[in-house]
A and B are shown apart, each in its own frame.
Chain A
């Protein structure tokens, strides 16, 4: 038998059920892998005692459920009772929640074993993990013939690196504009963002509330399906939670594309598109066609406005959400000598937030300020409506959309020092976020430099099943077996 850490989540589940190994053995194998890979900086906090205690409870029959004994990493955006939760920010260093987020509570209910908290871009603002206050996460991948360290993508970069390097069976991620899909593509794993409202936002530190959604990241589509069913579900504590039953996605997975119509959005074929990305996309189209899908060309005319819309809406919501970090109720406080309470607020936030977070708070503050609100924020909300309408019209003609996940493979640290260049990396993922649609990235091939490339599937609202089926079809056809 190969190393326990090499098994897929589904294989671990089967092995535990058949008593081929114990949950403690499985947890220990991952804890050892984590200890041997600390140079990746994927974890901010490791919780070995907690993991082994939870695993032992599974072995002793005291904990059970569909994910009993499965070792997971948790993005540091999810509040975990008794375990430091920082959102990758200095302002929350030392913050130990006294409550559990609904998503992680669901996973614990189902028997999962948590290995620790995963590094991320500060408050999920970034596409490379370079904005974390706890140091950058390093991708386990290297380009052929090069020793240069590469970004794991972001913001769920710790999750991506840990799953790819076999430090956990799967990980939670969150996606506001692509933060599950882009890092999944960069490290050759799968990840799905469900329909907005499927996963509760309660206890997940807020970035942009109308966009934030949690989702799983794992090495196979089936593994994502197993985690997704557990993570999702109605929660009265989240006012936007959908009161709709969640299917057993893994049980329903067929991977069949017979009779399905796959839409190819013409506007996603950008001028100057990386030929490797274009070729992979064409290959994906051919794969789905061979599986019996009908390929249709669709138009999403407002695509080019999605990124600027996002960079008004998300910072506006962030400036409001992050107002809570005032040094009063939690988080770190800085009080200048002789300063009053206002000086304390300003000094606390200046010291606690990193450059990118400050930049976005200031943009958000500006676009919401008197005199500019209509020109920026209201206009962005209207364009957002048009972007959502584009998708509605496209889904009259097709069942799912197929696109690349990112415009390039993983890049080097510092390669996108200009904020705008970094923002453009989310060009293919942001539109589905604005429309609240389910979307996933599946590893589909390697670049000439030997780095993973992903394809994205976008589905109708609530059709995670259709997205996962198309994902499985790509996964089977691609036979992606490369590893770092």
Chain B
């Protein structure tokens, strides 16, 4: 499998990264270089092997469903690029 410029633009859109027309050919080449190399995994017989998502055996821990923090609105907003009236502010979403 290899990617073309249309696919690269689609991936960039999914990843929410703006790419310029100039960048696309280089990305096509680099991504194909990497994808071509990782494709060797296809030759490994993995029949009956469970995919390993975590090196931790067993189940995730549970905890009580209780509030553990809060009341730190100013800390939460302290690094926001734009905040107003105690909220994160973003460009207009609904016209």
Whose C-beta in chain A lies nearest to the C-beta of B47? A382
**Interface: B67 (CB within 8 A):** no
CB distance A328 to B80 under 8 Å?
A: yes
Given contact pairs A98-B75, A331-B79, A359 touches B31 in the complex (Cβ within 8 A)? yes
CB distance B35 to A366 under 8 Å?
A: yes
C-alpha spacing A327/B91, complex, angstroms: 11
CB distance B50 to A346 under 8 Å?
A: no
Given contact pairs A239-B60, A365-B15, A382-B50, A375 touches B31 in the complex (Cβ within 8 A)? no
* Segment 71-94 of B: residues with Cβ below 8 Å from A: 72, 75-76, 78-82, 88, 90-93
Looking at the complex, which of A139-147, A158-166, A335-343 is the stretch in contact with chain B?
Answer: A335-343
Min CB distance, A337 to chain B, in Å?
A: 11
Q: Which residues of B are at the interface with A, using a C-beta cutoff of 8 A?
A: 1, 3, 7-8, 11-19, 27, 30-31, 33-35, 37-42, 44, 46, 49-56, 60-61, 63, 72, 75-76, 78-82, 88, 90-93
Among B1, B33, B54, the residue within 8 A (CB) of A419 is: B33
C-alpha spacing A236/B56, complex, angstroms: 15
Min CB distance, B56 to chain A, in Å?
A: 5
Among B1, B56, B72, B76, the residue within 8 A (CB) of A196 is: B56
CB distance A379 to B63 under 8 Å?
A: no
Q: Which residues of A are at the interface with B, using a C-beta cutoff of 8 A?
A: 95-99, 196-197, 210, 236, 239-240, 242-243, 302, 305, 308-309, 311-312, 319, 323, 326-333, 335, 339-347, 349-350, 353, 358-359, 361-363, 365-366, 369, 372, 375-376, 378-386, 388, 418-420, 435-436, 461
CB distance A350 to B34 under 8 Å?
A: no
Among A97, A99, A350, the residue within 8 A (CB) of B17 is: A350
C-alpha spacing A461/B12, complex, angstroms: 39
C-alpha spacing A339/B95, complex, angstroms: 12
Among A99, A239, A243, A302, the residue within 8 A (CB) of B44 is: A302
**For residue A344, which residues in chain B have a CB less than 8 angstroms away from its CB?**
90-91
Whose C-beta in chain A lies nearest to the C-beta of B15? A365
CB distance B46 to A382 under 8 Å?
A: yes
C-alpha spacing A265/B41, complex, angstroms: 21
Given contact pairs A305-B40, A344-B90, A382-B52, A366 touches B11 in the complex (Cβ within 8 A)? yes
CB distance B56 to A386 under 8 Å?
A: no
C-alpha spacing A305/B11, complex, angstroms: 25
Min CB distance, A475 to chain B, in Å?
A: 28
CB distance A98 to B78 under 8 Å?
A: yes
Among B16, B27, B33, B55, the residue within 8 A (CB) of A388 is: B55
Among B30, B37, B92, the residue within 8 A (CB) of A340 is: B92
Min CB distance, B61 to chain A, in Å?
A: 6
**For residue A236, which residues in chain B have a CB less than 8 angstroms away from its CB?**
61, 63
